[in-house]
Structure 1
Amino acid sequence: MVLSYAPAPESRAVVDIDSSYGLFIDGEFTDAASGSAFKSVNPATEEVLADIAEAGPDDVDRAVAAARRAYDRVWSRMSGRDRGKYLYRIARIIQERARELAVLESIDNGKPIRESRDVDVPLVAAHFFYYAGWADKLPYAGFGVDPRPHGVAGQVIPWNFPLLMLAWKIAPALAAGNTVVLKPAETTPLTALLFAQICQQADLPPGVVNIVTGAGETGRLLVEHPGVDKVAFTGSTEVGKAIARAVAGTDKKVTLELGGKAANIVFDDAPLDQAVEGIVNGIFFNQGHVCCAGSRLLVQESVYDDVLARLKRRLGTLRVGDPLDKNTDIGAINSSEQLQRIRTLSDVGEAEGAERWSPACDLPDRGYWFPPTVFTGVTQAHRIAREEIFGPVLSVLTFRTPAEAVEKANNTPYGLSAGVWTDKGSRILWMSNQLKAGVVWANTFNKFDPTSPFGGYKESGYGREGGRHGLEAYLAH
Structure 2
Amino acid sequence: MSRTVEHFTTAAAALSFRTGCWIDGRFLPAHDNARFETINPATGEVLADIARGKAADIDLAVASGRKAFRSRVWSGMTPAGRKTILLRLAQLLRDHLEEMALLDTLDVGKPIADTLSIDVPGAADILQWHAEALDKIYDEIAPTGGRDLAMIRKVPLGVIGVVVPWNFPLDLAIWKIAPALAVGNSVVLKPAEQSPLSALRLAELAAEAGLPEGVLNVVPGLGHEAGQALGLHQDVDCLAFTGSTETGKRFLRYAGESNLKPVWLETGGKSPSLVFPDADLEAAAEKAAWGIFFNQGQICSANSRLLVHESLAEDMIARLKSKAEALAPGNPLDPATLLGPMVSNEHADRVAGFIQSGREHAHLVAGGSQISVGRSRAYVQPTVFANVPSDCLLAREEIFGPVLAIQTFKDEDHAVALANDTVYGLAASLWTRDLGRALSLSERLEAGTISVNTVDALSPMTPFGGLKQSGYGRDLSLHSFDKYTALKTIWVKY
TM-score tier, shorter chain, comes to: over 0.9
Partner SS, residue 135 of structure 2: coil
Please point out which of 378, 381, 385 is paired with 2:395: 385
What is the letter of the counterpart of residue 56 of structure 2?
D
Residues of 2 paired with 1:303 and 1:385: CA distance? 19
Which residue, out of 34, 42, 45, partners 1:36?
A: 34
Q: Deviations over 1:416-442 (max 9, x none)?
A: 000111111221111110000001111
Which residue does 1:65 correspond to in 2?
Answer: 63
CA drift at 1:320: 1.3
* Match in the other structure for 2:179: 172
Partner of 1:407, secondary structure, is helix
- What is the distance in 1 between the residues matched to 2:414 and 2:15? 52
Q: What is the alpha-carbon distance in structure 2 between the residues aligned to residue 310 and residue 289 of structure 1?
A: 22
The whole-number CA distance in structure 2 between the counterparts of 1:370 and 1:364 is: 9
What's the offset of the Cα at 1:272? 0.9
TM-score (norm 1): 0.95
CA distance in 2, matches of 1:282, 1:458: 21
Residues 361-396 of structure 1, C-alpha deviations (whole Å, 9 max, x = no match): 994523211100111111111011001000000111
Give 1:236 deviation, angstroms.
Answer: 0.4
Q: CA deviation at 1:192?
A: 0.6
1:229 to 232, 237, 241: 237
Letter of the 1:290 counterpart: I
The answer to whether the 8 A contact 1:283-1:295 is kept is yes
Q: CA deviation at 1:324?
A: 1.2
Q: Shift of residue 212 of structure 1?
A: 0.0
Report the Cα offset of residue 191 of structure 1: 0.6
Equivalent residue for 1:421?
A: 431
- After superposition, residues 168-207 of structure 1 pair within 5 angstroms as 168-207=175-214
Is the 2:139–2:154 contact (alpha carbons within 8 Å) kept by the matching residues of 1?
no
Using the TM superposition, give the Cα deviation of residue 104 of structure 1 relative to its aligned residue in structure 2, in angstroms: 1.6
Q: Give the corresponding residue for 2:482.
A: 472
TM-fit CA distance, 1:245: 1.4
Amino acid at match of 1:110: G
Distance 1:141 1:230, change over 3 A: farther
Quote the offset at 1:56 in angstroms.
1.5
The structure-2 alpha-carbon separation of the partners of 1:136 and 1:142, relative to structure 1 and needing over 3 Å to count, comes to: farther
Larger strand percent: 2
Equivalence for 1:453 = 463
Q: Secondary structure at the match of 1:219?
A: helix
TM-score (norm 2): 0.92
CA contact 2:18–2:201 (8 Å) conserved in 1: no
The answer on whether the counterparts of 1:316 and 1:360 sit within 8 Å (CA) in structure 2 is no
SS at match of 1:186: coil
Larger mean Cα displacement after TM superposition, 15-24 or 89-98: 15-24
Task: Report which of the two structures shows the higher radius of gyration computed on alpha carbons.
Answer: 2
**Residue aligning to 2:405:** 395
Deviations 1:121-141 (A, max 9, x none): 111001110110122222269
Judged with a 3 Å threshold, the aligned counterparts in structure 2 of structure 1 residues 29 and 133 are, in CA distance, closer, same or farther, namely same
CA distance in structure 2 between the partners assigned to 1:38 and 1:178 by the alignment: 29
In the alignment, is residue 317 of structure 1 matched against residue 326 of structure 2? Answer: yes
Letter in 2 for 1:166: A
395-404 or 138-147, which deviates more: 138-147
Instruction: Please give the alpha-carbon distance, in whole angstroms, between the structure 2 residues aligned to 1:405 and 1:118.
Output: 35
Contact 1:42 1:108 in 2 (8 A): yes
Q: Following TM superposition, by how much is the alpha carbon of 1:46 offset from its aligned partner in structure 2, in angstroms?
A: 0.6
The whole-number CA distance in structure 1 between the counterparts of 2:50 and 2:84 is 31
Structure 2 residue 381 is matched with structure 1 residue 371: yes
Q: Which residue of 2 aligns with 1:219?
A: 227
Give the whole-Å Cα distance in 2 for the aligned partners of 1:359 and 1:59. 44
CA gap of 1:7–1:130, structure 2 versus 1, over 3 A, is: closer
1: CA distance, partners of 2:125 / 2:134 = 15
1:79 deviation in Å? 1.2
- Structure 2: distance between partners of 1:257 and 1:220: 17
Partner of 2:303: helix, strand, or coil?
coil
The separation in 1 between residues aligned to 2:65 and 2:388, in whole angstroms, is: 50
AA matched with 2:457? K
1:253 counterpart letter in structure 2: P
Distance 1:10 1:455, change over 3 A: farther
Change over 3 Å in CA distance of 1:377–1:361 after alignment to 2: closer
Matched, 1:284 2:293: yes
The Cα offsets for residues 27-84 of structure 1, whole Å up to 9 and x where unpaired, read as 1001111010000100000111000000122111110000011111111111111111
- Percent identical pairs in the alignment equals 43
Amino acid at match of 1:177: G
* 8 A Cα contact 2:368 2:383, kept in partner: no
Matched residues in 1 for 2:356 and 2:4: separation?
33
Residue 79 of structure 2 aligns to which amino acid in structure 1?
G
Work out the CA distance in 1 between the residues paired with 2:59 and 2:267: 27
Rounded to whole Å, the distance in 2 between the matches of 1:340 and 1:166 is 27
The code of the aligned residue for 1:55 comes to G
The aligned counterpart of 2:114 is: 115
Alignment of 1:4-403 (within 5 A): 8=5, 10-15=7-12, 16-18=14-16, 21-73=19-71, 74-139=73-138, 145-216=152-223, 217-248=225-256, 250-351=259-360, 353-359=361-367, 363=371, 365-366=373-374, 367=376, 368-403=378-413
Native 8 Å contact 1:105 1:191 kept in 2: yes
Q: Is the 8 A contact 1:333 1:370 kept in 2?
A: yes
Q: Residue 148 of structure 2 aligns with which residue?
A: none
Give the Å deviation of 1:12.
Answer: 3.6
- Compared with structure 1, are the counterparts of its residues 326 and 142 closer, same or farther at alpha carbon in structure 2 (3 Å cutoff)? farther
Amino acid at match of 1:33: H
Alpha-carbon contact 2:370-2:379 (below 8 Å) kept? no
Which runs of 5 or more residues in structure 2 are unaligned? Answer: 143-150, 488-494
Q: Against the structure 1 CA distance between its residues 10 and 273, is the aligned structure 2 distance closer, same or farther, given a 3 Å change threshold?
A: farther
Q: CA deviation at 1:447?
A: 3.1
Letter in 2 for 1:163: L
